[in-house]
Structure 1
């Protein structure tokens, strides 16, 4: 048997519900010959009569009743499927895969996700904690939709990177150290240091800052988790260069001094994603939400 046409099934149901071919034609905005053709083709495909044509009202045969009953379910499922697709296309529902670092997850991402939840409660964000290099690789591979990455980065094929925010790098120094009000590379290079992992963009940013002043210090330990680095600073293990990712006050860390560095050093974060023509509605809505927290020049 050939495949059924949803339009023909809808015609059959309308005739059974309304009782006549002409009433079904008016309800469906079709001509009566088209209605008759729909039923004729259905009966040919089924291989049995579906309707009993009476003088006043058309009645379904047993086969017609069965097909109409199952057809109602099919049409409801088809409507639900179309609505689900519409919701996904508009971005009201869907899943977005986002990659970013631990520092952004701890300090910056929660407020973004809170806003997204308020506006689009049916969008699910799957967060992967990754370094910027791996995030860019996975965007290119298609296993991530959005990445919050340290910049500059070389965009991959069909990947767009736009500026999101810039945060000053600060010296996190144990409170008991006798430190100047502004930290220079020369002063810090002589102290025990806690560095980010050598594979990270932050590590290279830090080492370039020292190198520009003629220093090449070695760290006592390398980590890839800023909050753990702060804990080690608080314990007096060493000092660290870290971004000020929120309005962090030294009073919140009584065992840490947070001091500006000279020369000034900034960590820049960008939003990386595939071209807009290649992304779905849920991803566009998350990009829009991230844009609400984009840092302007006056905020830097």
Structure 2
């Protein structure tokens, strides 16, 4: 069964609106024989007359009226689809899929999304909570456009990864604990610990920090949700090592933060597919880049 061309439907609607083959030909910038051919093809496809001629005026038949009504909706939908795509090409609208860890989503990403909503309100960002490896795999597979990943990362063919932020990792401690001005592995390893789970880059950084002092910590609990970890610290359940972004609100009065000795840093990168990217993705990358820190 042959499909009906939108051009043929557009010709039918023009004739119904203008009441003349000749007027429709002029409006559509078509030769009159082409207009006649379009209608003949439609009538052959439908198997019934679509137009009637009375007193020199052309009007749709009953069957033609049904097809004209449906054709108007189809043509409007097609025009809207093209307008939507054109807005996306121009960067005025679109969908951008982004992968990030819970830590980045909790404090850094909301700032970027607020900036994006002010500058480009019709760009929709869909966020997936993923590890860095999952984010890179999805970027390579084409199911994400942007990723926030822990650094360093091995090079991945087809992806661009650039350093984005470098934030200090601090000790988050219950305020009721007496503690030194700087926290060392030897001091902290004997305290109850709340650490990130082993799937995260932060977990590996933490293990390396303790190992620098010859220690191997045994945590009371492992989580991959930094705000939940801070809540447990506030409750006095244990201490944690977490990155602290300069713009992040200070925890409640039940939590104190202390720098580490030796110092520890969490580095994040901004990842996307190499080569030309869509304008909507460029806008998301721009607002994220505005949040970079030395």
TM-score range normalised by the length of the shorter chain: 0.7 to 0.9
Is the contact between residue 104 and residue 245 of structure 1 (CA under 8 Å) also seen in structure 2?
no
Is 2:112 the partner of 1:112?
yes
**Counterpart for residue 133 of structure 2:** 133
User: Whole-Å Cα distance in 2 between the matches of residues 234 and 59 of structure 1?
Assistant: 78
State the distance in 1 between where 2:248 and 2:94 align: 34
Write the distance in 2 (CA, Å) between the matches of 1:122 and 1:93: 5
Which residue of the partner structure matches residue 289 of structure 2?
291
Q: Which runs of 5+ in 2 are unaligned?
A: none
Q: Does 1:264 align with 2:267?
A: no
2:256 partner SS:
strand
Q: CA RMSD in A?
A: 3.1
Structure 1 Cα separation of the partners of residues 249 and 14 of structure 2: 70
In 2, Cα distance between the equivalents of 1:66 and 1:241?
Answer: 69
Q: 1:56 to 1:219 in 2, by over 3 A?
A: closer
Residue 174 in 1 paired to residue 174 in 2?
Answer: yes
Tell me how far 1:10 sits from its aligned partner: 2.0
Structure 2 residue matching 1:148: 3-state secondary structure: strand
Deviations 1:78-132 (A, max 9, x none): 2233233334444555444333222222221222222333344444433333332
2:116 & 2:178 partners in 1: Cα distance?
44
- In structure 1, the residue matched to 2:30 is 30
TM-score for both structures, normalised by structure 1: 0.80
Name the structure 1 match of 2:244: 244
Q: Give yes or no for the alignment of 1:21 onto 2:32.
A: no
Maintained 8 Å contact 1:103/1:245: no
Residue 196 (structure 1) shift: 1.9
Deviation at 1:284, TM superposition (A): 4.1
Q: Which sits farther off after the overlay, 165-174 or 4-13? A: 4-13
How many pairs does the alignment contain? 294
